[in-house]
Amino acid sequence: MTARVSGAWDRLGITAKLWLVFGVLFTMFSLAGAAACVGLLVMRGAENNIQDNMEIRAKILEMEGKLEKSRRLYRDYLLLGPELDFEAARERFCQPALAEAARLIAVCEDLRRLIAAAPPGSAIARRNVDLTLFTSTARRYSLVLLNETGLYARLYNPGDGQLPRLAGLTDQLGEALQGSSDATLLLREMDILEKRYEITRQRPFMQSALNKAAALKRLVAADKTVAPSRQADVLGLLDAYAGLADKVLETVKDMQTNVHDFWLQSRAVDPIAEELKQLSASEVARARTRSVWAGRLAAGILVATALLGLACLAVAARLLHASITSKIETMTRHAEAVRAGHLDVFLQNGSSDELGVLAGAFNAMTARLKEMVDTLEDKVRLRTRELAEKNSELDAKNQELATLSLTDRLTGLCNRRKLDHALEAEIRRAKRYGSVFSVIMVDLDHFKDINDAYGHATGDLVLVRTADVLVGHTRETDLVGRWGGEEFLIVCPETDLRQTTVLAEHLRRELGLVWGTDAVAVTASFGLAVYSGDTHPSSLLARADAALYRAKQAGRNRVAAAPDMQEASDPEGGDAPGRV
- Count other Cβ atoms within 10 Å, centred on residue 86: 18
User: Which residues have C-beta within 8 Å of that of residue 25, sequence separation ≥ 6?
Assistant: 309, 312, 313, 316
Distance from C-alpha of 395 to C-alpha of 508, rounded to nearest angstrom: 40
Specify the amino acid at residue 277: K
CATH of 409-561 among 3.30.420.40, 2.60.120.430, 3.40.50.10800, 3.30.70.270: 3.30.70.270
Inter-residue long-range contacts of 247-252, CB under 8 Å, 24+ positions, other chains counted: 247/162, 248/155, 248/162, 248/163, 248/166, 248/206, 249/203, 249/206, 251/151, 251/154, 251/155, 251/162, 252/155, 252/201, 252/203
How far apart CA 443 and CA 360 sit, in angstroms, is 86
| Tens digits of residue pLDDT in 291-324 | 777 777 778 877 887 788 788 778 777 776 776 7
Rounded CA separation 529/486 (Å): 19
Q: Is the four-CA dihedral 333, 338, 342, 345 of positive or negative sign?
A: positive
In the chain, DSSP finds a helix count (H) and a strand count (E) of 16, 5
Quote the CA–CA distance of 444 and 439 in Å, as a whole number: 16
What is the largest distance, in Å, between two alpha-carbon atoms of the chain? 190
Residue type, 507: L
Distance of alpha carbon 543 from alpha carbon 570, whole angstroms: 10
CB 365 within 8 A of CB 335: no
Domain ranges for the chain, please list them: 162-275, 342-406, 409-561
Taking residues 449-468, what's their average pLDDT?
92
Q: Is residue 109 predicted with pLDDT exceeding 60?
A: yes
* CA distances (Å), origin 195, targets 22, 82, 164, 577: 98, 12, 12, 141
Position 98 confidence tier, pLDDT thresholds 50, 70, 90: confident
Q: Which long-range contacts (CB under 8 A, 24 or more apart) does 368-376 make?
A: 369/338, 369/343, 370/343, 370/344, 373/343
Please answer whether residues 280 and 53 qualify as being in contact, where contact means their C-beta atoms are separated by less than 8 angstroms.
yes
Count CB neighbours of 315 within 10 A: 12
Cα 219 from Cα 187, distance rounded (Å): 11
CATH, domain 162-275, list 1.50.10, 1.20.1300, 1.25.40, 1.20.120:
1.20.120
- Measured between alpha carbons, how far is 208 from 229 in angstroms, rounded to an integer? 28
Q: What percent of the chain has pLDDT over 70?
A: 82
Give the mean pLDDT of 192-209.
82
User: Which DSSP category does 437 fall into?
Assistant: E
Average pLDDT over residues 95-116: 75
Return the closest-CA partner of residue 170 out of 248, 84, 253.
248
Closest CA to 530 of 428, 416, 414, 437: 437
Mean pLDDT within 150-169: 79
What does the pLDDT read at residue 578? 42
Residue 129 in this model has a pLDDT that exceeds 60: no
Question: In this structure, what DSSP letter does residue 395 have?
Answer: H
pLDDT in tens, 360-411: 777 778 777 777 777 887 788 888 888 888 888 887 777 777 666 789 989 9
* Highest mean pLDDT: which range of 71-85, 393-407, 452-466, 556-570: 452-466
Q: Does residue 15 register a pLDDT over 60?
A: yes
pLDDT at 508: 94
**How many alpha carbons lie under 13 Å from residue 110 in its C-beta half-sphere?**
16
Mean pLDDT in the chain?
79
As a whole number of angstroms, the distance between CA 164 and CA 155 comes to: 8
Q: What is the DSSP string of 290-336?
A: HHHHHHHHHHHHHHHHHHHHHHHHHHHHHHHIIIIIHHHHHHHHHHH
Query: Which region, left, alpha or beta, applies to residue 557 given φ > 0 means left and ψ of -120 to 50 means alpha?
Result: left
Which stretch of DSSP H or E encloses residue 184? helix 181-200
Which of 555 and 347 is assigned the larger pLDDT?
Answer: 555
Pick the most confident of 465-469, 520-524, 568-572.
Answer: 465-469
Q: Would you tell me how many other CB atoms lie within 10 Å of the CB of residue 534? A: 21
Average pLDDT estimate for 126-150: 69
Q: Are 105 and 163 in contact (CB under 8 A)?
A: no
pLDDT above 70 (res 73) = yes
**SS3 sequence, 472-505?**
HCCCCCCEEEEEECCEEEEEEECCCHHHHHHHHH
- Using the predicted structure, report yes or no on whether residue 503 has a pLDDT greater than 80: yes
